[in-house]
Amino acid sequence: MLDIKWIRDHQEQVQTAAEEKGIELSVPELLRWDDQRRVLLQETERLRQERNRLTPQIEAQIREHGPDAAVTLKDDVKQLNRRLQGLEKELVEADREYRRLMLLVPNPVSPDTPQGRSDLDNVEVKRVGESPTFGFAPRDHVALGELHRIIDIPRGVKTAGSRNYYLSGAGVLLHRAVQQLAMDLLMAKGFTLLEVPLMVRSEALENTGFFPLGADQTFRIADDDRWLVGTAEVPLVSYYDHEIVDLTQPIKLAAASVCFRSEVGSAGRDVHGLYRVHQFSKVEQVVLCENDVERSEQLFQEITQNAEELLQLLELPYRVMAVCTGDMSQKTYKQYDIETWMPSRGAYGETHSSSQLLDFQARRSNLRYKDRDGKLQYGYTLNNTMVASPRILIPLLENHQEEDGSIRIPLALRKYMNGLERLTPTSLQL
């Protein structure tokens, strides 16, 4: 959410951001509703004050002259009340429309964000590592998972419907190993680890910018205002909502959590295997800092580098992409995606994402701090997907496979894999 005064002063910029991000919003309409509610609020306050002025006069006349002495004043108050009832209804409608439109207002994008309409227009920032060249026909992760009996998609579908799966044996170890490696890296960098709620109220999703536009991606608990989170970003930011925090130094939080997404609109190769599934696990970084754009940019690069370090330890080739305007969400000011090479796709696939949000979430969440002059300010928030699994298993299995179907375990993961150096088709079968 942005400050309404700022929106008034930057109408064209806000409207452009809405159009670039594909959000149906009329800034002039928003401002008209704001004007109307201000007029209505002023008039209702004036009438309430007039009613409050007349009430003691009525009481005084009744005391001095009896119950019939204040008939005219009573009629005046009745008329005031009728007018107030009408105005208050109009004010409720104006407030409702104003808030509805305010919740659609997008965060403007950074000056260095590339223009574009879709992920095809994202711009490569850098590329690290070389994609492997196989002297044999490589298997995809589904075939490798079946060969090693570590991924079972048919039984997942049988039990829970499409885009579900089972992991077993070494698949579970790999799934947990990458998460633990990510957590250990973040702990070494001063992050505070949290175990977070997986079900949150709609207010938490609205405050963090996932509602209203992302409601169709979110699973709701039946007959209850609780929703399953699609990222630990929501409970991590919400940890400090409606609080005044000390941001002399940035607050760095991390969580490993199960996540749930409906993945409405996904199609094609994205729904093959483990790429887009309804249930997955993520290690998420969230950073809160003072409202300083330069400091935010430094932290943005830092959390992105944390994810890059993980990929380097996993010995996987990747590239960093600057996300264009048309591929960004409502809440994002600047975004980098990290894409890892996936041989079965013959292309890079998104595995990580870093975002700067400036004070967009903090305003919605009423998350503030005191600056050096003691004045309350809204903080800035940032987030990054340190790792998401089972998606990361796709490049892990496919890039490290050998001709006989064996899969080499990167050195950094071996201590989490009971010392295993490679998986063979008979390793840890059920």
Euclidean distance between CA atoms 131 and 151, whole angstroms: 24
Sign of CA dihedral 252, 256, 258, 262: positive
DSSP E strands in 196-346: the ranges are: 199-200, 227-228, 244-245, 251-260, 279-289, 318-322, 334-342
Q: Which of 31, 9, 41, 39 is nearest to 98 (CA)?
A: 31
Q: Which of 181, 163, 165, 161 is nearest to 173 (CA)?
A: 181
Category of 95 on φ-ψ map: left (φ > 0), alpha (ψ -120 to 50) or beta: alpha
CB-count exposure of residue 408 (10 Å: 0-12, 13-18, 19+): middle
Q: Which of 151, 163, 384, 119 is nearest to 264 (CA)?
A: 163
Active site residues: 261, 276, 350, 353, 391
Euclidean distance between CA atoms 27 and 427, whole angstroms: 60
What the block records as the tokens of 107 is 């965060």
What single DSSP character describes residue 220? B
Report CA 275 to chain centroid distance, whole Å: 19
Burial 344-355 (b: 16+ CB within 10 A, else e): bbeebbbbbbbb
